Amino acid sequence: MSTDSNRKVVLASRPRGVPAPGDFRVETEALAPLADGQVRVDVSHLSIDAFIRTALETSGYHGSIPLGGTVVALGVGRVRESRAATLAAGDWVSGPLLAQSVATLPAAMLSRIDVQRAPATAYLGVLGLTTGLTAYVGVRRVGRVQAGETFVVSAAAGAVGSVAGQIAKQDGARVVGIAGGEAKSRFLTQQLGFDAAVDYKRDDVADQLRAAAPGGVDVYFDNVGGPLLDVVLDQIKLRARIVICGAISQYSGDMSRGVRGPALYLRLAERQSRMEGFAVTHFPEALAEGEAALAGWMREGRIRLPEHVVHGLESFGAALATLFTGGHTGKLLLAV
């Protein structure tokens, strides 16, 4: 790889449905001179996140990427050159590096990370804003699960879901994960310590959930939306909390016009329950606390997040598609 050029993933066409490899193209460009306040970062790993897909659409609420524009992504990397007082060459950083090999951006947009405390990729995983910290805020600040309660999480074998379930476990809850297929069910109960797993690919999902949560559901951490949300709404207890973290089953087409709404939302009134949405960025005051807690649990081996690493910028489109077709467990990363 040349050190004086940047290879970047640009949007070649707006995806219809799940993004496909052909929607992206890798281009090479010469590096621009570094401006005052900027740093140059060799990108090490990118986090493959659901929000990237909405940014590819014309009306995503994260803002739309123009055709030919570089695709957004959070990443970690090492500063190669700095014209900012706050960062020096050799520092490891995380931030919105975009899908490219060399990022040139204001130092103020980056956070320095401590690779002694945890490996760099952990800052995209257990300690990552869109992963571990999202799970932390959703469980602790929104769902507020209590010891002895039943906590159910969807997309449980994914990055956010698997960390959310493990946090709820630390908090003394009975934890049930919903995921697709037997292998993922085993991953949840045997590797992550979940109390039970529900396989949403079988046609008896409601019965499985009833067996896994016989007294009903206190907290549902929902990453999925769609019909599964109704299955769970039908089994909530009095004063349940539905945490809306995302709706990966519904990320397609023009989300500004809405998705499949939960047909059983009146269960909220019948059972004095609430459905509350959030984004991690709404809780800036909780991030330092969350990072410290997660780093501690990780050190003690109480929270694990296996990494699923795809290699090379050319694989970006395929990696993103994997996120929506469920072909991975744990945290999906792209090694640049």
The two most distant CA atoms of the chain are separated, in Å, by: 63
- The nearest distance, CB 214 to a second copy, in angstroms, is 21
Of residues 79 and 231, the one with the C-beta less far from a second copy: 231
Structure tokens at 195: 């109390």
Residues 241-280 as x/- pattern, contact with a second copy by CB under 8 A: ---xxxx--x----x-xxxxxxxxxxxxxxxxxxxxxxx-
- The nearest distance, CB 140 to a second copy, in angstroms, is 15
What end-to-end distance do the CA atoms of the chain give, in Å?
11
Structure tokens at 234: 């039908």
Residues 60-89 that bind a second copy (CB under 8 A): 61
Q: Total residues contacting a second copy (rule CB under 8 A)?
A: 34
Going from the C-alpha of 80 to that of each of 7, 45, 237, 293, 334, the distances in angstroms are 16, 15, 54, 31, 20
- The nearest distance, CB 138 to a second copy, in angstroms, is 10
Residues 42-61 as x/- pattern, contact with a second copy by CB under 8 A: -------------------x
Q: Is 12 in the site for a second copy (CB under 8 A)?
A: no
Helices (H), 34-131: 50-56
Planar angle of CA 114, 127, 274, nearest 5 degrees = 155
- The nearest distance, CB 233 to a second copy, in angstroms, is 9
Of residues 219 and 245, the one with the C-beta less far from a second copy: 245
- Give the strand pairing for 74-82 and 92-95: antiparallel
Residues 125-154 that bind a second copy (CB under 8 A): none
Of residues 257 and 325, the one with the C-beta less far from a second copy: 257
Of residues 77 and 143, the one with the C-beta less far from a second copy: 143
Of residues 32 and 263, the one with the C-beta less far from a second copy: 263
Of residues 250 and 322, the one with the C-beta less far from a second copy: 250
Contacts of 293 (CB under 8 A, 6+ apart): 136
Distance CA 307, CA 46 (A): 12
Q: Which of 109, 238, 288, 292 binds a second copy (CB under 8 A)?
A: 238
Handedness of CA 152, 291, 334, 109 (dihedral sign): positive
- The nearest distance, CB 230 to a second copy, in angstroms, is 6
Contacts of 288 (CB under 8 A, 6+ apart): none
- The nearest distance, CB 267 to a second copy, in angstroms, is 7
* DSSP secondary structure string for all residues of 42-70: EEEEEE--HHHHHHHSTT-TT-PPPTTSB
- The nearest distance, CB 246 to a second copy, in angstroms, is 7
Of residues 105 and 133, the one with the C-beta less far from a second copy: 133
| C-alpha count within 13 angstroms, C-beta hemisphere, residue 200 | 22
Burial (CB count within 10 angstroms: exposed 0-12, middle 13-18, buried 19+), residue 314: middle
Residues 205-234 that bind a second copy (CB under 8 A): 225, 230
Of residues 114 and 204, the one with the C-beta less far from a second copy: 204
Site of interaction with a second copy (CB under 8 A): 61, 225, 230, 238, 244-247, 250, 255, 257-279, 282
